Structure 1
Amino acid sequence: MKRTKIALTGLALLTAGVIALSGCSSSGGNQGDNGKTGGTSSSAIIKVNGSEPENPLIPTNTNEVGGGKILDSIFAGLAYYDGKGKLVNDMAESITVDDPSNVTIKIKKGEKFTNGQELTADSFIKAWQYGALFSNKQLNSSWFADIEGFDPAKDSQLTGLTKVDDYTFKVKLNSPVAADWAQRLGYSAYYPLPDVAFDDMKSFGEHPIGNGPYKLASDSAWQHDVQIDLVKNDGYTGSRQVKNGGLTIKFYTTQDAAYADLQAGNVDVIDAIPPSAFATFESDLGDRAVNQPAAIFQSFTMPGNLAHFTGEEGTLRKEAISMAINRDQITKTIFNGTRTPASDFTSPVISGWSDSIPGNEVLKYDPAKAKELWAQADAISKWSGTFQIAYNADGGHKEWVDAVSNSIKNALGIDASGKSYVDFATLRQDVNDRKIKTAFRTGWQADYPSQYNFLQPLYGTKASSNDSDYSNTEFDSLLAQGASASDPAAATADYAKAQEILFKDLPAIPLWYSNVTGGFAEGVKNVTFGWNSVPLYYEITKG
């Protein structure tokens, strides 16, 4: 982390498991060409899997993977993350950490949106002001919380944004977290917007105009619940130069359907293998199979006001539930080694990860201890009913939810089961509206490579993805302290102490870390899966 006035050139935080396959698989690869030689077509359309976005495609209101894949393709921010997680300047000429609370940003001159409008400092300032404004109810509003003037409870301007000239602006933060904050600038919440967006934001979200390596193929490119068609944006001058003609992102309701299409040659690259194929996909696809670590954490969460799961009783029950789950057995039998039992709340591919944080013994399978804790909770208030875990049926979750439920049932002697929602959007609607009355599956695919990103957005007070409404002032203080530390080792120590609190409170029950499992079709080349499990689409070729 940098404190002095030095231009930020990127912090490579990954220490292991870097996913730069370039066509390789877990068993070794051959540049993704299946042994064939010959040229490729720069005009080829690459077909990939995806999911229907939860909301219109507005950067400050998209915090799920389906919409994020599209936004990252059609927009270019100040910077982006390469396959190894390194921050690389994109639209920024420089990002300079002046001191722990101040950052200066210079924009490259001559960059344009696809409607011809020039990209300027205002393109970022106006977009960020919109995203932070309370009345706009943007899901990513908390990403602006560290900027001076942010108020989560009422409309207020980000007074910390100061335009210097058409291509330069300064950011004043309300706490000394500039080093970590600058590392976040590759995330989509910080993308710029053209002026036309503010005329009718809802309409813009249906027909977004970006400045990235791709653009929408036409006004009707987004066929809801079917696919979205993107083509190469020849006006993009950043480092993510497109080597194909475009993308067709097909929206699948099941992972089985996507895998069947891959086997039939109807899709070129997929980044999710269905549980039904975990045992066979590597032998089926050979050198075209992908099974590599990624920055993905899986859990399930209880609503903050769920009956029997608050106060002392709730603490006992959450510990009991956690210790009733046989993670080792489930990751072996259900996932065939494509998951690793969790030992913390982050990911092994992120710098600072540890498997020995005090309190993480609650993640060890101990049915006798679990039953003892459950009995202690019953002494406070007798349990009745069924413990349920809600999940979306279109995401390949039924098998593990059933296995976890059976493990809990067998260990505690209670009724436990899954509760199926038809799709991800429907589940998230109930979660976002705080209408859900059961535990529900949760997970995190990192936005930028930092432990802070696994902790603050999910468990920070009033954070954007804090689905349980968890709040602990000591935890918040440790996160802030870690984010402001000039020494990475000191930051890691603060984050470890913060996780000790999480292990006591258990706002979520950690389950396992996910590998990215995927594959690509014959004739497809230059396939690189990034640190966060998403393919680098612009590098893919075929022909």
Structure 2
Amino acid sequence: MSKKKMLAVAAASAAFMLAASGCAAGTGNNAGAEGEKKLSFQLTEPKSLVPHEDPGSQVAMATCANLMEVNTETQTLEPLAAKSVTSTDAKTWKIQLQDDWTFQDGAPVTANSFADAWNKTATGSNAWQGNGYFATFVGYKDLNPTDGSTPKADKLSGVKVIDENNLEVTLTAANADFPKLLSTSALCPLPEQAFSDPKGYEANPISNGPYQFASWNHNVEVVLEKWDGFKGAAGFSGGADKLVGQIYTAVDAAYTDMTAGNLDMIRNVPATMVSKAKSQLGEESLYEVKTGSKQYTLQIPGYVKGLENPDLRKAISMSIDREAIATSLLQGYATSSDSLVPPSLDSYKKGSCDSCTFDAAGAKALLEKAGGFDGTLIIEHNSTSDQQLVQVISKQIQDNLGIKVQLKPMMGTELEARRNGKKLEGAVFGLWGWSYKSPDQYLSQYETGGDGNVTTGYSNPAVDKLMVAARGEQDEAKSAGLYADAEALIMKDMPSIPLFIPTDFGLRSKCAAMNDSQGDLQFYRAGYGC
């Protein structure tokens, strides 16, 4: 976006473009009773069905209509529950709501529905996962004292309800990405019942999105039904009458069900499964997300003793033969990372990680310069995915550096708890993707107190200053340059080792016409092709 006196996002115009995506239709027998169109999708057992508690949940995305959202028909960010989002300085934002929108129980969606939800989510003592999305709102620090004291307030002072249809939000610093932030589930509205009867609401959530909650059979399935009262355009929803999230602990079990005709959609398909799927399910079963929005990394907590030296971290990076792994194990369905951001982002600079090129001899020399490493490098990771990949990476580090490496697999919930509690014992292998398309979504992990920073705890005042400047810059080219400068400083300390950009595949049955949005698959956007 070029620099303008007025930043505005209105219903008739889009804020930014994303890469176009395709879809395919097929035939099948998923019609339920009386011709009901039903699609099933892979799901893990939800922590919560409330969007603010689990913002990345596919269920949350289906049941909530955000203020802003990417329309899959136009591939642009457009107002959805909002009528307009405007600012003259990118710091104070005026939000006007659509007229006469309601929750699924008929209660009106008002400015208070958003403000009350935001205040509860932003209050640290509630321990909702969406809390960090409000870190740049004025008043956030008062709701999140770092010394363990009682919060000084119960509301974000930067959020003002003007009237039933109008809100004003003031940020601590200018942020041209704010309309994109409004497309995330953590900023969904909540009805009054969520506050008057929170336990009842958790068990039977009501929202304002295209699908409504029907049932949750724990560790088995979550059922959603199309809501006829949804007022958004077709590009904000899908074609199924009923969505069934079938719960699995591993993608292999989901794949087995798909081959048996008992599942319609899988996301984040491992590269090692792609060739098998082509052979067993056919080429048409694969859906490729065109925008490369994900990256594998090895993040290193700053508090882990023995791993503090940047030269040691760079030696570890140089000991990994990314090209060989991408070609063999990943079968060409990944590319080597050479930056902390994927190439699909404007701030990407080829080769910004100069220690991401394999050099076994150079790695050993750098290890010696760092004073060697006598301990055991522990790599913690989610046990339900990518086990072969992390095993190969660990073996290369061990063989090429001559150090001991120990894998520590665990469930994702345990890994998250260890992150949040600062109890990690070594590096963390994982996959990171954006909530909206911006370099900030990657680099804020390395900003003091930024989203995702809890893993490494990295802090550099010069980086923080550049991040604030980049976020507030309304000229996209200048903003990208500032983000690139921030990355260059981060790479000197190497708190994170870039590994791979995976080719992102989903699997679909003939009945599921998949759609992606913001670089990721969203099951509730799927068309019904039978």
Q: TM-score, normalised by structure 2?
A: 0.91
Q: Which range moved further: 465-474 or 487-496?
A: 465-474
Contact in 1 for aligned 2:91/2:172 (Cα 8 Å): yes
Partner of residue 212, structure 1? 209
Paired letter, 2:218: H
- Structure 1 residue 188 corresponds to structure 2 residue 202: no
1:393 aligned to 374, 383, 397, which one?
383
1:325 aligned to 296, 302, 320, which one?
320
Partner of residue 347, structure 2? 352
Partner of residue 12, structure 1? 16
Partners of 1:57 and 1:525 in 2: CA distance: 23
Runs of 4+ in 1 over 4 A off after TM superposition: 39-42
Contact in 2 for aligned 1:389/1:419 (Cα 8 Å): yes
Partners of 2:328 and 2:208 in 1: CA distance: 45
Partner of residue 62, structure 1? 54
Cα 1:189–1:205 change in 2 (3 A) is same
Cα 1:201–1:347 change in 2 (3 A) is farther
Q: In the TM superposition, what whole-angstrom CA distance separates every residue of 1:420-444 from its partner, at most 9, and x where no partner exists?
A: 21x2112222222222212122221
Percent identity over the alignment? 26
Shift of 1:481: 0.5
1:113 aligned to 84, 103, 112, which one?
103
Cα 1:82–1:329 change in 2 (3 A) is farther
Partners of 1:155 and 1:43 in 2: CA distance: 52
Shift of 1:464: 3.6
Partner of residue 159, structure 2? 161
Shift of 1:202: 4.9
- Structure 1 residue 100 corresponds to structure 2 residue 100: no
Partners of 1:479 and 1:205 in 2: CA distance: 36
Trace 1:214-363 onto structure 2 (pairs within 5 A).
Answer: 214-217=211-214, 221-239=215-233, 240-284=236-280, 285-293=282-290, 294-310=292-308, 314-357=309-352, 360-363=353-356
Shift of 1:187: 0.7
Partners of 1:510 and 1:46 in 2: CA distance: 36
Contact in 1 for aligned 2:289/2:519 (Cα 8 Å): no
- Structure 1 residue 478 corresponds to structure 2 residue 466: yes
Contact in 2 for aligned 1:389/1:441 (Cα 8 Å): yes
Partners of 1:263 and 1:514 in 2: CA distance: 23
Cα 1:347–1:389 change in 2 (3 A) is same
Contact in 2 for aligned 1:113/1:211 (Cα 8 Å): yes
Runs (5+) with no aligned partner, structure 2 = 146-150
Q: The residue matched to 2:517 in structure 1 has which SS? A: coil
Runs (5+) with no aligned partner, structure 1 = 24-31
1:140 aligned to 127, 130, 145, which one?
130
- What is the number of residues matched between the two proteins? 511
Partner of residue 148, structure 2? none
* Aligned-CA RMSD value: 2.3
Contact in 1 for aligned 2:238/2:528 (Cα 8 Å): no
Partners of 2:370 and 2:200 in 1: CA distance: 51
Paired letter, 1:391: H
Partners of 2:423 and 2:244 in 1: CA distance: 35
1:533 aligned to 508, 520, 529, which one?
520
Q: TM-score, normalised by structure 1?
A: 0.89
Shift of 1:417: 3.4
- Structure 1 residue 51 corresponds to structure 2 residue 44: yes
Partners of 1:446 and 1:101 in 2: CA distance: 22
Paired letter, 1:248: V
Trace 1:319-468 onto structure 2 (pairs within 5 A).
Answer: 319-357=314-352, 360-378=353-371, 383-395=373-385, 397-421=386-410, 423-456=411-444, 458-466=445-453, 467-468=455-456
Partners of 1:459 and 1:118 in 2: CA distance: 40
